[in-house]
Structure 1
Amino acid sequence: MKLERLISIIYKLLNNDVLPASTLAEEFQVSQRTIYRDIDVICAAGFPVVSYQGNKGGFGMMDGFKMDRSLLGSYDVDSLITVLKGLSTVFEDERAQGTIERLQTVGTEQQTSSLAVDFETRRIDPEVLPLIRTAISARTIIRFDYISGKNERTNREMEPIRLHFKYGNWYMYGYCRTRCDYREFRLSRMVELSLTEHTFQPHQEVPEEAGPFVGEQIHVEDVVIRVGQEALAEAMDQFGHVEKSFHTDGSMMMRIPVYKPLEACWLWAILLSFGSGAEVLEPSGLRDILKQELQKALQLYE
């Protein structure tokens, strides 16, 4: 604990001009006398700590004494700091905060960053992410109920390996003991998550998350939709990287490659969310499906 405190004090002195002993004592929850002894140890280790007297006095590093900034470029440091700040907010990780303080000693002097990162967590329980991360670190088996893409609820027991943030959502990858295979689960669909009392040993070979099989590519079909001007922004948010063309009346045509669109429930939900702002032109079978879904929805309000 003392060594960690000494290292933290060094980085704080590198990041600040002057720090009062009372401020350091309060932050590390020790007496000022302990801080004075720590400063003596730091000086004995070769760090040029200067003592400043007066109302605004305290301790600081000698002018010109900074860590070598050439180890990382300013862009690299600023980007790392930004990402770590986002992670430390999500996980409330004190270790990440300590890393940020160390990186700031080799960062630039600019007050504003050209990069901002937001790891959105509004779709999930705020306690889920720290809980899963704890399970990964301690290699603890977890249990939870999962709602699949087919709206089926199943109970799972899993050995968590890693967390991923992709496509605007958080995912967990690991070995599912229920299915005896590696699986990926979307956190927003997990309920009643709990840590068990059992631990696991990591497997010798952990496969990466599987992508689409080559054979599945033959089932990809283009879905063509016409989007009205009132739904342009929403359609662009959902299908930004697809072939599109704009018309003089303000509407837009989109050609969206989809794997088995007549079975893609996720696609139906998105298209129906556009309301009257978008119309499916192809394939005709998808038009029929959306008609049926709309009729079912209307029956709920009759």
Structure 2
Amino acid sequence: MKLERLISIIYKLLNNEVLSASALAEEYGVSQRTIYRDIDVICAAGIPVVSYQGTKGGYGIMDGYKMDRSLLGSYDVSSLITVLHSMSTVFEDERVLETIERLQTIEPGSQTQSLSMDIGSRWIDTGTLRILRQAIKRSRVIRYDYINAKNERSARLLEPARLMYKYGNWYVAGWCRSRREVREFRVSRMANVEETDETFAQRHVVEEGGGYARDDAGDTEPVEVVMKVAGSALARAMDQFSSAEKHFNKDGSLTLKLPVDRPHEAQWLWAVLLSFGDSMELVEPVELRDVVRSMLESTLRLYTEK
């Protein structure tokens, strides 16, 4: 259908710098003459399409063009504003605020917002995030100290490529000069982060979704850990283990099942278990109960020995 093709071409032009008539004709299975007529119709609708000459010429949207509100629904605009507001609180980016202002001209904020989010965290130094983002923009090497899952501290040099917020935490991915490969590092475990004067070529691409090895990632199959939570600690357990498989028992307790990489070395797991006191019991694997018992006995000695 012509209308569907016109709408599709508009979005392609909005998302690309320049597209040639031949490429558009081939994609939609029409002649270049038809594409020329489509461009005329789009221009007549008030969308400023610009023609570029030369071997890499084609069509594009005029720089600084403000998208008409008919191209985005109120839900789209509202969601974009919400996400950008959250970004602006973390990075204090004036350009983000300018984008928000432009979006608000498309859809005035008179309606009630149904979505709110905060991607910042009181446990994360937002100053570090800003340093990392600036280094990525400038293609500058960063220097920092890193603490891995084994509590080993090492000095690192990284060619940062992308900041990522996932699993409720911030990560930075880039070319690690120590490991000689693209890796991910958890920002909360980075200390003394500074941008150096050394620049690097943007040759190490980090794909969308990542999937690269983390410096603290395990190399074995996860082990299922089963925990039983007393009724007096249900809310806290739900907060702490939101991704675990849950089963509510008749006595009011809760059974949690969670896959854990190298549970014998998972210090975070032991810390959480001990923090629940007698409100949480490790059920399986059975051999790990001895580890918990040993830790409790060691802790008790701190308060009984003089």
Q: State which drifts further: 126-135 or 202-211.
A: 202-211
Structure 2 equivalent of residue 196 of structure 1: 196
Structure 2 equivalent of residue 289 of structure 1: 291
Q: What TM-score do you get using the length of structure 1 for normalisation?
A: 0.72
SS of 2:223's partner is strand
Please say if residues 120 and 168 of structure 1, whose CA atoms lie closer than 8 Å, have aligned partners that are also in contact: no
Structure 2 equivalent of residue 185 of structure 1: 185
Structure 1 equivalent of residue 99 of structure 2: 99
- 1:238-276 superposed Cα distances (whole Å, 9 cap, x missing partner): 222332221232111122222332232222222222221
Q: Quick one: which of 246, 259, 266 aligns to 1:244?
A: 246
Q: How does 1:146-295 map to 2 (within 5 A)?
A: 146-203=146-203, 205-206=205-206, 208-210=210-212, 219-295=221-297
* Gapped regions of structure 1 (runs ≥ 5): 1-65
In structure 2, C-alpha distance between the alignment counterparts of 1:67 and 1:203, rounded to whole Å: 33
Cα 1:211/1:70, change in 2 over 3 Å: farther
The alpha carbon displacement at 1:211 in A equals 6.7
Cα 1:248/1:166, change in 2 over 3 Å: same
SS of 1:172's partner is strand
In structure 2, C-alpha distance between the alignment counterparts of 1:284 and 1:182, rounded to whole Å: 38
Please say if residues 140 and 200 of structure 2, whose CA atoms lie closer than 8 Å, have aligned partners that are also in contact: yes
In structure 1, C-alpha distance between the alignment counterparts of 2:131 and 2:213, rounded to whole Å: 27
Cα 1:160/1:114, change in 2 over 3 Å: same
- 1:258-296 superposed Cα distances (whole Å, 9 cap, x missing partner): 233223222222222222110011111111111112222
In structure 2, C-alpha distance between the alignment counterparts of 1:198 and 1:256, rounded to whole Å: 43
CA RMSD after TM alignment: 2.3
The alpha carbon displacement at 1:220 in A equals 2.9
Q: State which drifts further: 217-226 or 94-103.
A: 217-226
SS of 2:255's partner is strand
Residue 222 of structure 1 aligns to which amino acid in structure 2? E
Cα 1:222/1:192, change in 2 over 3 Å: same
In structure 1, C-alpha distance between the alignment counterparts of 2:144 and 2:213, rounded to whole Å: 24
SS of 1:105's partner is helix
Please say if residues 120 and 169 of structure 1, whose CA atoms lie closer than 8 Å, have aligned partners that are also in contact: no
Q: What TM-score do you get using the length of structure 2 for normalisation?
A: 0.71
Query: Percentage identity across aligned positions?
Result: 52
In structure 2, C-alpha distance between the alignment counterparts of 1:234 and 1:140, rounded to whole Å: 42
